[in-house]
Amino acid sequence: MKVVFLDRFAIRAALRPLRFAHEWQEYPTTAPEQVVERLAGAEIAITNRVRFDEATIAQLPALKLIAVSATGYECIDVQACRRAGITVTNVRDWSTPAVAEHAFAMMLGIRRQLLVYRQALQAGAWQRSHFYGVLNETLPQDLYGCTLAIIGYGALGKRLEKLARAFDMQVLVADHKGMAPRAGRVAFDEALERADVLCIACPISDETRNLIDRAELARMKPTATLINTARGGIVNEQALADALRAGRLGGAGVDSLAVEPPRDGNPLLDLDLPNLIMTPHMAFASDSTLARLAERLLETVEAFVAGTPCNVVN
């Protein structure tokens, strides 16, 4: 059985041999025009972000499995795969602890004004101070006692809630936009209005694209912090940049953008604000997390070959 990993660079971890007879080929990256040639005769394709559209799939008659080495699979036309008899799988719940920790690191960095005070220190404010320390006019904010609203209550949302409880935060779980809230949840608009910190923890889809736009940002407290360690595109980036620039939002932490890498720029990248922390889609990354991803990816491929597929998305 021929197995081809199209973008091996995406997993910075060792991969053990698969536990079935196979021919293995791997490439650091694969351009769109190389996909069909590299998968000629392959029954299993492993990919992280290589795009599979209907035209590509039609040229791969031997292909039986596309194993996505990530949770998100928006790069795959899953309907076209279903029609072609190709199974698509992903890897689930491998990065949840790291992403949740990253979200809290951003919360703390913004609300405790770490970048603000780092800049003050570098500017010599402490050396010139008549006081034993340095305090700006606008004081830092605690997580203790504040309200965290979570949009998306899967594995990441639940992990965020657990960490928030440890900080003695009040936790709101938002229901779907426009829906009457179910037991244990609050209406979407109420979550926006009450949040001191709003965390995005839902997947990207047609329903969640631009879920947080100008109207939603306007509902939030001007002191609130927005954290998105989910997918780019859920928050309208121009609207968020405008709100931050105008001082209508207390701060934001962003780990992903709608278009990645942002070679043509992005309105958030144009901002130089101490209440905006951006990281280049790496919230998932740690030695232990990537090792977990590698093992679960291989287990998913082996389960398919054994006739007991798991994590099927189509």
Cα 43 from Cα 227, distance rounded (Å): 40
Return d(Cα 228, Cα 213) in angstroms, integer: 13
Tokens of 245: 């620039």
Q: What's the Rg (C-alpha) of the chain?
A: 22
Among candidate residues 101, 193, 260, 299, the one labeled active-site is 260
Token reading at 285: 């990354």
Which of 219, 281, 295, 299 is flagged as catalytic? 281
Any catalytic annotation for residue 260? yes
Which of the residues 111, 185, 231, 296 is marked catalytic?
231
* Active-site residue, 281 included: yes
Residue 220: half-sphere exposure toward Cβ, Cα within 13 Å? 31
Is residue 147 a contact partner of residue 196, using CB atoms and an 8 Å limit?
Answer: yes
Alpha-helical (H) ranges within the chain are 35-38, 54-58, 78-84, 96-111, 114-122, 125-128, 155-166, 188-194, 214-219, 237-245, 287-305
Structure tokens at 279: 């990281």
Sign of the four-CA dihedral 101, 102, 104, 105: positive
Query: Which pair of tokens denotes residue 124?
Result: 């010599």
Residue identified by tokens 């709003």 is 198
22 is catalytic: no
Distances (CA, A) of 193 to 187, 214, 291: 10, 14, 39
Contacts of 164 (CB under 8 A, 6+ apart): 143, 148, 171
Q: What kind and span of H or E run contains 151?
A: strand 147-151
Are 98 and 289 in contact by the 8 Å Cβ rule? The answer is yes
- Which residue in this structure is represented by tokens 């079935």? 20
| Residues noted as catalytic | 231, 260, 281
